[in-house]
Amino acid sequence: MTSTGNPRPGAFIDRDGVINEERAYVHRVEDFVLLPNAIAGLRALADAGFALVVVTNQAGVAHGYYDEAAVRTLHEHLQDLLAHEGLHLDTIRYCPHHPLGATPAYRQACECRKPAPGMVLDAARALGLDLAASVMIGDKLSDVQAGRAAGVGLNILVRSGHALRDGDAQQADAVCDDLLDAARCIATRSNIGS
């Protein structure tokens, strides 16, 4: 954990496939299912002094499958589930855009959609986080790329969501089974979160 007066490290965590089951365009509370080790992984990261930050692409908004109100409702539900476990996400950032979206207002290439670093940088500024001491945990190469572009110190892929494509694992600093395994891996890196 960082000492008093130093910026806190952040754990930037993708949502679908890392915290909850990967299902096509999860946007309804009844379809939201936490992965088995998600709570334990979040708790381990929080106990290690990391700010918990969710960064998630939500292209379903751009494609017209659901609206931003549905995203906010689902994130409120996630915070409620975590509150029952004594946990709280410091912030949730989502990108509703997609360059090929069906909804004109959201059809754009932007700096917030991973692999761009916008969500990470925005959250880090808002919370005063130390990016070099931070971690990115995701299930796709775009998560690693966003973390690297933002200057995040450790970028991890997990196997609990999308199947890793050939070459993806080599671009990550580590590959772990799930969020809890990633938290354990981070704990062994003395220069991260300390």
Annotation says 14 is catalytic: yes
Shortest CA distance to 19 belongs to which of 34, 29, 9?
A: 34
Q: Mind listing the pLDDT tens digit for each residue in 112-136?
A: 999 999 999 999 999 999 999 999 9
Check whether 150 has a pLDDT greater than 70.
Answer: yes
Check whether 4 has a pLDDT greater than 60.
Answer: no
Q: Which residue is catalytic, options 16, 139, 168, 181?
A: 16
Check whether 158 has a pLDDT greater than 60.
Answer: yes
Return d(Cα 136, Cα 192) in angstroms, integer: 11
pLDDT confidence band for 3 (50 / 70 / 90): very low
Ranges of each domain in the chain:
8-187
Check whether 1 has a pLDDT greater than 80.
Answer: no
User: What three-state secondary structure class fits 17?
Assistant: coil
CB 104 within 8 A of CB 133: no
Question: 165: buried, middle or exposed (CB in 10 Å: 19+, 13-18, 0-12)?
Answer: exposed
8-187: which CATH topology?
A: Rossmann fold (3.40.50)
CA angle at residue 109 from 108 to 111, to 5 degrees? 125
Q: Which residue is catalytic, options 14, 143, 168, 181?
A: 14
Average pLDDT, integer, range 77-90: 98
Q: Mind listing the pLDDT tens digit for each residue in 12-71?
A: 999 999 999 999 899 999 999 999 999 999 999 999 999 999 999 999 999 999 999 999
Return d(Cα 138, Cα 144) in angstroms, integer: 7
Give the model's pLDDT for residue 5. 67
CB 155 within 8 A of CB 173: yes
Return d(Cα 36, Cα 179) in angstroms, integer: 9
Return d(Cα 107, Cα 94) in angstroms, integer: 15
